[in-house]
Structure 1
Amino acid sequence: MNVSIGDAFATLIRGGMPVHFTAYDGSETGPRDAAIGLHLRNQRGLAYLLTAPGDLGMVRAYVMGDLDLSGVHPGDPYDALVLLKDHMEFRVPPPAEALSIVRGLGLGLLRPPPPPPQEHLPRWRRAVEGMRHSMARDAGVIARHYDVSNRFYELVLGPSMAYTCAVYERADVALEEAQAAKFDLICRKLALEPGQRLLDVGCGWGGMVQHAAREYGVRSLGVTLSLQQAEWAKKAIDRAGLGDLAEVRHLDYRDVLETGFDAVSSIGLTEHIGVRNHAAYFAHLRDRLRPGGRLLNHCITRSHNRKQETGAFIDRYVFPDGELIGSGSIIRAAQDVGLEVEHSENLRQHYALTLAHWCRNLEANWDECVAEVGESTARVWGLYMAGSRIGFERGEVELHHVLATRADEDGPAPFPLRPDWTA
């Protein structure tokens, strides 16, 4: 018995269809007046949906352009993702039912199409690439994500080229102002003064390095595993006339052997290093500090301290090998290597606002972004940023600053009773 694609799709959804779904065979399902529409364009997209039921199949079809969203812009599909997350749940049919659906659609022997080129292999199939978080593997993962295109990042992130959570005095503050406020807050937490030395690990395009040098007269060294980031940062430092104070190297933070830094900042690196490596990571950063020096660790965290996988989309398309854990585990790891944790702050709401700004930039510059990296990669970014915004808004993920000090010769490092930035 033949069935339409619309009817088959409806059987895979629990609790009814919240969107209007149409397919290339002319069939449809779901309310016609729905604000959001899904259109399946071809048989390859259908094969994605049937061979990877659920979110992964939809992502594959969408990234390849086989599944289109209407009612939202691909640069900011936030409204669609909220609707789908809240009101659409896939079920995996038993084998006999799945076979019946395939036969009813007249597909014969159904084979999974190759995944989009933007997709990494799942972790268990990447074992042959080397130990997770080895230097070689980390370098490959970082290059895959960050060496997309500096011009693409300029269009999405804005002039600051800061790919981390901004800090908003008010919700209506411009992105550039909020990013400058983030760097300045970190500088004040680190109590930077002219003539001091700062190490910024995972420095990205050098925003923190430049801010500390320009605004605080600090001699700043940044290191990044991304060659494109390092090259862009070096040019930006030269343009700003900061070459006497600021430097960025293409280097793994584990290869930084200099010591005696007055401060160390880590802004968005911890997510990449692996939870089991946190002790070694904090020990290495501690050893870069002079006695009495300060460390500011800025990273995405979970709302709990239990092990939880990142999910297929994030792991395969955005941050391969990325791992998150709660701030309690971050603090414990820092304390266990002898650092004194002085302050912790959750900036979860600020990251939701940051992601909303990035999505608006992607939407506003969509045509140029697509010309730069291709529509499939641009679609991945729209999904990733809008979906992450939802996660931060709902408290599924958080963003923590953890400030710690290294003891000096006389015991715990001096620290003010009430720093001005705690107000």
Structure 2
Amino acid sequence: MTQKTRPTTPSLTIAEAVDSLMRDGMPLRFTAYDGSAVGPPDSPVALELTSPRGLAYLLTAPGDLGMARAYVTGDLLLHGVHPGDPYDALVFLQNSLRFRTPTASEGLTVLRSLGLGSLRPPPPPPQETLPRWRRAVEGLRHSRGRDAEAIHHHYDVSNRFYELVLGPSMTYTCAVFPHADATLEEAQAEKYDLVCRKLDLKPGQRLLDVGCGWGGMVRHAAREYGVHALGVTLSRQQAEWGKEAIDREGLGDRAEVRHLDYRDVLESDFDAVSSIGLTEHIGVRNYPAYFRHLRDRLRPEGRLLNHCITRPHNRRQAIGAFLDRYVFPDGELTGSGRIITEAQDAGLEVMHEENLRRHYALTLTGWCRNLVDHWDEAVAEVGEGTARVWGLYMAGSRLAFERNEIQLHQVLAGRTTASGADGFPLRPTW
């Protein structure tokens, strides 16, 4: 009796397997470590998969997390762009890559061709923090201890690295460009000055700046407006740098930076409070307590300026896996409407709001340019993997701001008196 043989399933190369998942074919050049290639050889952007580990990253963490892991480790290379600013590649990929869902038999063919061993997850890159569910052992989300660890993960990378990326202003928040040709430094100075003007700062007044970073707002307000400014930050490295900068500028009699959680600021009767880039870290559920705390720090007729990244909608939404694991652990964003609502419910009178979305895209363009210009020194300072994380995240964020996937809002509010006095003129003066 003759034994029947089963038909063999055709084996695919890596390039053929990837191409089979494309809806309209591979729009760019893709090469793999098995020698296979697919896509137009003259495409402006090319992808190179350099190792089995990179393939395992892609298969075991589909989406942006797997690609980020392979890219950060150098197992997935982008040709045609600088790693300090892969913006052009991200635009091309977002506009051109169109995946399709394979049938069960097609999926099985792909997996058999690539090898079941590729489904064993490799250890993640050292730049990656734990997933949200595992971070729970460090405490509840946005507890003091867990917030301190999240801030440490992102902001205590290296002060020298931040100097290379941010430039002399050492300002890691959206700038305000007075005109399209303004330099990044001019735009950062304009941002601080706009905040000061909105707060109507006067010599001798007291300012509290929560989440003060390296003390840029504190120093600008003290130097240019003669106020007594206190800044607080959860980053020890930021606080140390800020104190040294205050001493260098001879502002010690009017400016101070403390390594302190904003919730531990007990002083009150401030004339103004600024919060520039802090709200993204505190959690949407904590907005009521956050705004109540800041309101209680103000004197009657005092002003609050809240500056933060927002969504174009008002639903509570956690950030994506790549940003959560590599950049802003526990970060959450929502819309300006939710922020205004919570500020009002905390007893603040909202007087003005402004969307600076396009300004943040320009800011990120400047930061990426700085990273490219100082790439070798940045890599020597923090390692190529971390430098790749920053180039990828900043270029991706620029694209998101340009496409209105995220926004940047300044909300100006005040603490009115019992009789309704708010201290504002009839029309804005800034």
Q: Which TM-score applies when normalising by structure 2? A: 0.95
1:298 to 298, 307, 332: 307
Asked if structure 2 preserves the Cα contact closer than 8 Å seen for 1:20 and 1:34, the reply is yes
* Residue 252 of structure 1: aligned partner: 261
* Residue 25 of structure 1: aligned partner: 34
What is the rounded CA distance, in whole Å, between the counterparts of 2:336 and 2:118 in structure 1? 49
Query: SS at the partner of 2:273?
Result: strand
* Residue 369 of structure 1: aligned partner: 378
* Residue 336 of structure 1: aligned partner: 345
Q: What is the CA-CA distance between 1:90 and the residue it aligns to?
A: 3.9
Q: What is the CA-CA distance between 1:93 and the residue it aligns to?
A: 4.6
What is the rounded CA distance, in whole Å, between the counterparts of 2:55 and 2:173 in structure 1? 36
Asked if structure 1 preserves the Cα contact closer than 8 Å seen for 2:82 and 2:372, the reply is yes
Q: What is the CA-CA distance between 1:403 and the residue it aligns to?
A: 0.3
* Residue 387 of structure 1: aligned partner: 396
Give unpaired runs (5+ residues) of structure 1.
none
Q: What is the CA-CA distance between 1:306 and the residue it aligns to?
A: 1.6
Name the aligned partner's letter for residue 185 of structure 1.
L
Query: SS at the partner of 2:318?
Result: coil
* Residue 168 of structure 2: aligned partner: 159
1:273 to 269, 282, 290: 282
What is the rounded CA distance, in whole Å, between the counterparts of 1:183 and 1:109 in structure 2? 51
Asked if structure 1 preserves the Cα contact closer than 8 Å seen for 2:316 and 2:332, the reply is no
Asked if structure 1 preserves the Cα contact closer than 8 Å seen for 2:212 and 2:276, the reply is yes
Q: What is the CA-CA distance between 1:95 and the residue it aligns to?
A: 6.1
Q: Structure 1 stretch 37-46 or stretch 300-309: which is displaced more?
A: 300-309
Matches within 5 A, 1:14-413: 14-91=23-100, 93=102, 97-108=106-117, 110-413=119-422
Q: What is the CA-CA distance between 1:129 and the residue it aligns to?
A: 1.9
What is the rounded CA distance, in whole Å, between the counterparts of 2:212 and 2:413 in structure 1? 19
Query: SS at the partner of 1:13?
Result: coil
Q: Which deviations, in whole Å up to 9, do the C-alpha atoms of 1:183-241 show, x marking residues without a partner?
A: 00000000000000000000000000000000000000000000000000000000000
Q: Which deviations, in whole Å up to 9, do the C-alpha atoms of 1:363-408 show, x marking residues without a partner?
A: 1100000000110111110110001001111111110000000012
Q: What is the CA-CA distance between 1:132 and the residue it aligns to?
A: 0.2
Computing the radius of gyration over CA atoms, which structure comes out larger, 1 or 2?
2
Q: Which TM-score applies when normalising by structure 1? A: 0.97
Name the aligned partner's letter for residue 97 of structure 2.
M
1:7 to 16, 24, 33: 16
Name the aligned partner's letter for residue 298 of structure 1.
H
Asked if structure 1 preserves the Cα contact closer than 8 Å seen for 2:45 and 2:80, the reply is yes
Q: Which deviations, in whole Å up to 9, do the C-alpha atoms of 1:87-123 show, x marking residues without a partner?
A: 2144565665444323213454730111111112221
Q: What is the CA-CA distance between 1:144 and the residue it aligns to?
A: 0.5
Name the aligned partner's letter for residue 173 of structure 1.
A
Identity rate, percent: 73
What is the rounded CA distance, in whole Å, between the counterparts of 1:37 and 1:81 in structure 2? 11
Cα pair distance change 1:106/1:274, threshold 3 Å: closer
What is the rounded CA distance, in whole Å, between the counterparts of 1:310 and 1:353 in structure 2? 21
Asked if structure 2 preserves the Cα contact closer than 8 Å seen for 1:145 and 1:319, the reply is yes
Name the aligned partner's letter for residue 364 of structure 1.
D
Query: SS at the partner of 2:221?
Result: helix
What is the rounded CA distance, in whole Å, between the counterparts of 2:271 and 2:134 in structure 1? 42
Name the aligned partner's letter for residue 227 of structure 2.
V
RMSD (Å) for aligned C-alpha atoms: 1.3
